Structure 1
Amino acid sequence: MKQIPLTCSGHTRPVVHLDFSGLTECGYFLISACKDGKPMLRMGDTGDWVGTFEGHKGAVWGVALNESATLAASGAADFTGKIWNAVTGEEVHSLQHNHIVKTVAFSHDSQYLVTGSNEKLVRVFDLNSDGKALESYAGHAGAVKRALFCRNEKCVISCADDKSMRLWDRSTGQEVTRVEFNSHPNGLELSKDGSILTVTYGNCTAFYDMETLTQLKEITIPTRVSSASLHPDKHIFVCGGEDFKMYKYDYITGNEIESFKGHFGPVHSVSFSPDGELYASGSEDGTLRLWQTTVGKTYGLWKCTEPTDLNNSTTTTSSNSATPTPNNTVGGGVVTPAPTNATVSCPPVSTTTAPVTPTPNANREVTAN
């Protein structure tokens, strides 16, 4: 059965980074970073546009959502990292840096934010303070590409253009371990349980034990790879890179399962949804695409009709595009959802001028027309 992705348009320049929230009472959400300077928030399972965060004055390179989808973060070429209320769209903090901010990530409890920048520094901010850096780690000899909290948030892991990955002890501020690569590392992702670190560099995707930083396996991909994501169940992983293709691999055997095209430019970022039912990709072509983990399964906007007569019937899938209305943006506490071909209850923001937080245990239903 053919893989038919959902295409999410709306950005006007390359989409360079993606991040999913955790599962919430209202489903899960997806945020995208784009060189157009306007991070977008979407429903994670359908791609339906929720809103656009307005405020940056340069390309946005990194984004993050906290587990509960109540906070969003973005790092940009205007030398700031911004924290947003993801329910109202209001800017909460603007964290000043001295150079382009390439990466942002929340701690699990949403109390801290780690950033990495072209200053070659990794910083940790206390979001309960006035926006000053609580910790700063120097040592990289190149721009920091990705940084994450790890080891129950006692450490920070970062990778940079100096062809290295470094582990920092937050209690001492010292570098604990360094891993050297033969090319620039591009992607860094921690598995949902925090036990496995996925790293991409050159045409390789490698997996490390997070406790020991010993390499578990390294798999060669047929292209220079920019990003990879391990399924929550750890049985498969997906990756994408310069040849416009998406690749799916068996994590245990290292064998390629399938590859397919959909984007019209290099793939910059890929990520599995928190339930593992789909994965998202962002590309140089300015679009996001959502792909089914199990092709043909009824999920979100994909509807599968099972054949009752194999001689006369076929199994079909349908897909839809999720497109925002350009002038409807998040900002000032007012959000108007874009028109959609789906009926959605329990949205993350109100359609009135007084945003309302989703009520607990609310039911969410999506029905494609």
Structure 2
Amino acid sequence: MDKKKVVAPLVCHGHSRPVVDLYYSPITPDGFFLVSASKDSTPMLRNGETGDWIGTFQGHKGAVWSCCLDKHALRAASASADFSAKLWDALTGDVLHSFEHKHIVRACAFSEDTHLLLTGGMEKVLRIFDLNRPDAPPREIEKSPGSVRTLAWLHSDQTILGSCTDMGGVRLWDVRTGTIVRTLETKSSVTSAEVSQDGRYITTADGSTVKFWDANHFGLVKRYDMPCIMESASLEPKFGNKFIAGGEDMWIHVFDFHTGAEIGCNKGHHGPVHCVRFSPGGESYASGSEDGTIRIWQTGPEQDSCAANGPSQNIKDVVNEVTNQMRNVLIAEEEKTGAE
């Protein structure tokens, strides 16, 4: 059997608790960025390509369940167990506004035009905040039948899709009428729902199944059974020919989109994987885990199977390089802490 070169992932330390959400910005004139949510209450911003730490958003007093960046990567938003969602200046790290809720906020999402912020959580209410008038009362639309787990915008901000923590299905709200117009049926609770970059597909993970739905007609396009319970899945954005999924077995599985065949597997995390996302150009993907780390994996010739993901000739050099990068990140964090 030919030896295949294994590229070690970039390991991003910094969070002290599990990483529960990841979000990549679109590509901007300054590159692209990755923001992470963690139960340690401090979202972090990184260079999306290198994984280098840029800054930490400090101000929440409870676990942060969701995070996102606007399309220009100038502002970030976060949803927290401290009953608030916060809007941040992504350049300075300052809190621009805190939107108070009456219970845990589990999800947040910027509208495509960046003027609106959508939130949802344990209150079962979807709220739309006008970021041009942040002090104004939010628009509240028809209640979710269960606690909100995930939220996303669709159809140029005309449709909202959301899933619940305690029941199956993905519900679609018409923003104009504020009512649920359709439900994509699933047996298990949907823990991850992603709209593809080209707007063609909705990718969902529910239990041990990953499904792809037509984002315009809402029919089920593909359904694949997974080797374990998967908490998150993401479709490759450039060619749409592969997807990744991560969950209970701590591995990042790579599958062929057209056949569902497993074409790769990456080991490294020491706890269940809670979130996986492709970078906007598809050249890499990130995973966040119960172990508190983020790992950034390069997209390339995939391994044949999990068993193939063994040591390679140059692994020591790669590990040393990654270790040096990690050390630089930690030094930067220490310097920042000392300066505060």
| C-alpha distance after superposition, 1:94-124 (max 9, x if no partner) | 1111111111111112101111111112211
Question: TM-score normalised to the size of structure 2?
Answer: 0.88
Contact 1:206 1:219 in 2 (8 A): yes
| Code of the aligned partner of 1:58 | G
More helix, by proportion: 2
Distance change in 2, residues 1:328/1:315 (3 Å): closer
Matched, 1:184 2:199: no
240, 243, 251: which one pairs with 1:237?
243
For the Cα contact (< 8 Å) 2:126–2:143, is it kept in 1?
A: no
| Closer, same or farther: CA 79–132 of 1 in aligned 2, 3 Å | farther
Cα pair 1:124 1:133 within 8 Å, conserved: no
Q: Which residue of 1 aligns with 2:307?
A: none
Aligned pairs for 1:1-369 within 5 A: 1-161=5-165, 162-232=167-237, 233-294=239-300, 318=318, 319-320=321-322, 321-322=325-326, 323-324=329-330, 325-326=332-333
CA deviation profile, 1:300-359 (whole Å, cap 9, x unmatched):
xxxxxxxxxxxxxx77772414334445669xxxx98xxxxxxxxxxxxxxxx9xxxxxx
CA deviations on 1:36-88 (whole Å, 9 max, x unpaired) are 00000000001100000010000000000111110100000111100101011
What is the CA-CA distance between 1:134 and the residue it aligns to? 3.6
- Structure 2 CA distance for partners of 1:9 and 1:58, relative to 1, 3 Å: same
- 8 Å CA contact retained: 1:54, 1:329: no
C-alpha separation in 2, matches of 1:187 and 1:91: 27
Alpha-carbon distance in structure 2 between the residues aligned to 1:102 and 1:154: 22
Letter in 1 for 2:121: S
Kindly report structure 1 stretches of 4+ aligned residues shifted beyond 4 Å: 314-317, 325-330
Q: In structure 2, how many angstroms separate the alpha carbons of the residues matched to 1:169 and 1:69?
A: 27
Which residues of structure 1 form unaligned runs of 5+?
Answer: 297-313, 337-352, 354-369
The answer to whether the 8 Å contact 1:51/1:328 transfers is no
Size of the aligned set, in residue pairs, is: 316
* Residues 90, 329 of structure 1: alpha-carbon distance in 2 compared, 3 angstrom cutoff: farther
Identity of aligned residues (%): 42
Name the CA shift for 1:315/1:329 in 2 (closer, same or farther; >3 Å). closer
Residues 327 and 97 (structure 1), Cα distance of their counterparts in 2 relative to 1, 3 Å cut: farther
Task: Return 5+ residue gaps in structure 2 as ranges.
Answer: 303-312
Tell me, in whole angstroms, the C-alpha distance in 2 between the residues paired with 1:14 and 1:36: 7
| Aligned residue identity for 1:221 | M
Q: CA deviation at 1:178?
A: 1.2
**Structure 1 42/16 Cα, relative in aligned 2: closer, same or farther at 3 Å?**
same
Larger RCO, structure (CA 8 Å, separation 6 or more):
1
Q: State the 1:140 CA deviation.
A: 2.5
Secondary structure of residue in 2 paired with 1:211: coil
Letter in 2 for 1:181: T
Supply the RMSD in Å over aligned alpha carbons. Answer: 2.0
The one-letter code of the counterpart of 1:35 is: K
Letter in 2 for 1:241: G
Deviation at 1:226, TM superposition (A): 0.4
